[in-house]
Amino acid sequence: MTPTNIFDDLPQHLPKELVQTLLQAADVRIERIISHGHASPADFWYDQPQHEWVIVLKGAARLQFEDGMIEMKPGDFVNIPEFKKHRVDWTTPDEPTIWLGVRYGDVPATREDSFREARSLRFEYRNG
């Protein structure tokens, strides 16, 4: 068995935030997330059907929730309950922000599946 370092193989240029699955099991997915000056679009909110625990390992970020904003620096972590609306307001533009994310609960196969599920649920709620 050979260890892998979470800070290895960081891309130099990222057109968008990069999410890499490090481990996938029945009810959990661990992801390395790399942001470099990225933020969620102004009108976009994550509203996902899984819990998400995230920690900033390098860089800094600001997460916005409907009821406020939190700033995160290396070592800061937060547990975001399922369906807690949030968005990435800001990440450091001069260095990568490296997050470790742990999704747990009913975890879809990919992050894109999670987004599709969340969008579908919001659409059903609005039009239900």
The yes-or-no verdict on residue 115 having pLDDT over 80 is: no
Fold (CATH) for 18-127: Jelly Rolls (2.60.120)
Say whether pLDDT at 108 is over 70: no
The pTM assigned to this predicted structure is 0.81
| pLDDT at residue 106, as a whole number | 79
Q: Which of 8-12, 106-110, 111-115, 119-123 is modeled with the greatest confidence? A: 8-12
Distance CA 107, CA 93 (A): 30
Over residues 8-20, the pLDDT tens digits come to 999 988 899 999 9
Q: Per-residue pLDDT for 109 more than 80?
A: no
Of 3-7, 52-56, 91-95, 116-120, the poorest mean pLDDT is in: 116-120
Contact of 117 with 49, CB cutoff 8 Å = yes
The pair of three-digit structure tokens given for residue 9, joined into one six-digit string: 């193989």
The per-residue pLDDT for range 17-65, each reduced to its tens digit, is 999 999 999 999 999 999 999 999 999 999 999 999 999 999 999 999 9
Residue 113 phi/psi, 5° resolution? -60, -40
Look at residue 92 and tell me whether its pLDDT is greater than 90: yes
**Cβ distance 91 to 36 under 8 Å?**
yes
Written as six digits, the tokens of 8 are: 């290895």
